[in-house]
Structure 1
Amino acid sequence: MNIIPKITPIYQTSVFKFEDLDAVQQYFDEPGSRYLYSRNGNPNSDELADAVNRWEGGAGAVATGSGMAAIFAALMTYCQAGDHVLCAADIYGGSAALLNQELARLGVSVSYVPFEELYNLRPYVQASTKLLLCETMSNPLLRVVDLRAMATECHQHNLKLVIDNTFATPVLTKPLAYGADLVLHSVTKYLAGHSDVTAGAVVARTAEDAARLRQIGTVFGLTLSPMESWLSVRGMKTMRLRVAAHSHNAQQVAEFLEVHPTVEAVYYPGLLTHPQHVLAATQGHGLFSGMLSFRLPDDVAVVNRFMQRSQRFPFAPSLAGVDSSCSHPLYTSHRALTEEQQAALGITVGLIRLSVGIEPVEELLADLAHALA
């Protein structure tokens, strides 16, 4: 019986069998012809990598065990001991922790570039500088980077541009098309989309970098498991529809919060008042993501009351699931930053980040009205 499944089965195996020595030799002589060991490659993790690669328009990709593993793989593609890295000051706290603590211990130094100075890197570039790491939309203040200008500035200084595209997703923006060299994702978030997977992915613009990524993934053991890979691929099949729904709901939530008397500020690129609204509209093809942040008074009691009263935005320190949630950057995602970094970015007690889900938007608005009353 010839069985041809429509959906790729889950290859829940750590190792694959060979008929004889000739078959083993074929594995090494013809890369990609068959599988040996799931750390080196598995049909499910390869399927996910190929899916993300197609979305981003790259030359190859690797699936990793988490978004942090993706960031690590991306940085290791270009860096070794003695090198220097530039990083946007507006960055996910986990990225900063990796750079400040672990890569510094391995001899890779970092300098942080304020958002306003990203397009003039000359004062920050050293002889050993290899790359700039930044986000399409920054976490948590949703500042939007001009990717084409950023790529031009980096390449003028012979730097690689590494973009974390987690907030935007390739539904909104494909950074490789604007000149980025590597694009990474926490697949955990919008790509998988259902808060039931921990995964990451990195996509390369060149075949050479793609091969280096695969080597790093294998040697460091960053490979994603078959089950997580299968779930991620399943989630990606609805990504286009989900991201559009997330963005539609977030736009209405942002407009509601912008005029609420208790709210001091709202950070969402879809608002006309956002400093990079026009850029975001162009790069995002009219969609602005499901992520936003807003500011309440810097009073723990006020923030706690909001969290306790809200039923549709539970305090769950992650993002991008189909169900809405809220997070607190100062207490969770950005607590590893120094107090000086937090103050410079405006990450205070009153700053709350919302991940707007795909529920009926009128229910979300009613919940926010109740929580803020």
Structure 2
Amino acid sequence: MNQSDIHPKITPIYQTSVFKFEDLDAVQQYFDEPGSRYMYSRQGNPNSDELANAVSRWEGGVGAVATGSGMAAIFAALLTYCQAGDHVLCSADIYGGSAALLNTELSRLGITVSYVPFDELYDLKPYIQNTTKLLLCETMSNPLLRVVDLRRIAGECQQHGLKLVVDNTFSTPVLTRPLAYGADLVLHSVTKYLAGHSDVTAGVVVARVAEDAARLSQIGTVFGLTLSPMESWLSVRGLKTMRLRVAAHSDNAWLVAEFLDEHPAVEAVYYPGLPTHPQHGLALAQGGGRFGGMLSFRLPDDAAAVNAFMRRSQRFPFAPSLAGVDSSCSHPLYTSHRALTDAQRAELGITVGLVRLSVGIEPVEELLADLAQALDFSSQ
């Protein structure tokens, strides 16, 4: 059969590092007509491009780059606007890995950072320096699920000539699309909800304007951040069920949050779907009526109590990641936010009693029954 007669419904995996050219004219076409063909997978591959284009459509962007991890996505986003001597603002409520990148590695490149408390994000003037280029924040913060008013923060950034970079991992474009509110770049750890099955490590950054998209592509190529064909293919497959999965995650998490909120062993629950959450109304508006699959809750600040819960739970294994179809729990103090300073953790309330849940899509009655027995400390 002639290969031109093969029309697969699903894009094949182009597991190749390099592509063939017929002659010098074909090579020249590659350079003269960007996007017309492929040469080397670090510079582009049909699978990684398919993923980038799919997420760009979801987010309403003009272009994107798929990267080898969520951390690579954050790095690419920051370098799109920053160079040595520049200054970055970052929400104090931020993923610990983001803080580690800003505090350690970017400082070695001459890029400095200041952290803005959540309640002061809408008045950035006291924190802005002459070299400040951008603000980095999360749609829903990790791990306390504080919700940023994207339209308001975008207006504040525009007033001061700053770029707005939003990590939309917790929310996903199913719930919220930050570019529509005025963000300049939106990024994801594809590892989480976009791929959705805990079998991929990947990231993506989406741009609102073509100039930034081109810069992202250059950074991805030069720094070698491009995602592999196999990981890209798996991520695209995951994207096809994202809308259904996020709905199921959200529905289950809302019921789990309600259960925990009424449990006597639980001191506090952090979930935007609860009417008592400080940003409940905002989350309702920005999320289209859903609130995502992530929540945190507080046990007594006693490692023995946390260990007892983790050991007893069967449906929420301690696995320091999130957003797979199977539920899990994590411990910010010991894992995701370990790189923060003691002062940062104390200010955020990240203590030994704080437990983060990634609520999966299992039958919710099974999850509730498991939590009930895991929290029954009186029987231990």
**Shorter-chain TM-score category?**
over 0.9
For residue 143 of structure 1, what is the aligned residue in structure 2? 146
Look up the SS of the partner of 2:296 in the other structure: strand
**What amino acid is the match of 2:100?**
A
Look up the SS of the partner of 2:42 in the other structure: coil
**What amino acid is the match of 2:155?**
T
Picking from 253, 273, 278, the partner of 1:275 is 278
Picking from 286, 301, 304, the partner of 1:301 is 304
1:342 aligned to 2:345?
yes
1:369 aligned to 2:372?
yes
**What amino acid is the match of 2:167?**
D
**What amino acid is the match of 1:298?**
D
How far 1:342 moved relative to its partner? 0.2
Picking from 190, 194, 209, the partner of 1:191 is 194
CA distance in 2, matches of 1:68, 1:335: 16
CA offset digits 1:274-298 (Å, max 9, x no partner): 0000000000000100000000000
CA offset digits 1:131-155 (Å, max 9, x no partner): 0000000000000000000000001
Q: Matches of residues 278-357 of structure 1 in structure 2 within 5 Å?
A: 278-357=281-360
CA offset digits 1:80-102 (Å, max 9, x no partner): 00000000000000000000000
CA offset digits 1:194-226 (Å, max 9, x no partner): 000000000000000000000000000000000
For residue 12 of structure 2, what is the aligned residue in structure 1? 9
TM-score (norm. length: structure 1): 1.00
How far 1:63 moved relative to its partner? 0.2
1:109 aligned to 2:112?
yes
For residue 157 of structure 1, what is the aligned residue in structure 2? 160
Look up the SS of the partner of 1:354 in the other structure: strand
How far 1:14 moved relative to its partner? 0.0
For residue 211 of structure 2, what is the aligned residue in structure 1? 208
Runs of 5+ unmatched residues, structure 1: none
**What amino acid is the match of 1:299?**
D
CA distance in 2, matches of 1:220, 1:105: 16
**What amino acid is the match of 2:219?**
I
For residue 121 of structure 1, what is the aligned residue in structure 2? 124
Look up the SS of the partner of 1:80 in the other structure: coil
How far 1:192 moved relative to its partner? 0.1
Look up the SS of the partner of 2:43 in the other structure: coil
For residue 78 of structure 1, what is the aligned residue in structure 2? 81
Look up the SS of the partner of 2:295 in the other structure: strand
Look up the SS of the partner of 1:155 in the other structure: helix
CA offset digits 1:1-54 (Å, max 9, x no partner): 401100000000000000000000000000000000000000000000000000
1:256 aligned to 2:233?
no
For residue 23 of structure 1, what is the aligned residue in structure 2? 26
**What amino acid is the match of 2:62?**
A
TM-score (norm. length: structure 2): 0.98
1:98 aligned to 2:101?
yes
CA distance in 1, matches of 2:88, 2:160: 13
Picking from 236, 241, 244, the partner of 2:244 is 241
**What amino acid is the match of 1:367?**
D
How far 1:235 moved relative to its partner? 0.2
Picking from 59, 62, 66, the partner of 1:59 is 62
Look up the SS of the partner of 1:266 in the other structure: strand
**What amino acid is the match of 2:292?**
S
Calculate the aligned-residue CA RMSD, in Å.
0.3
CA distance in 2, matches of 1:336, 1:183: 23
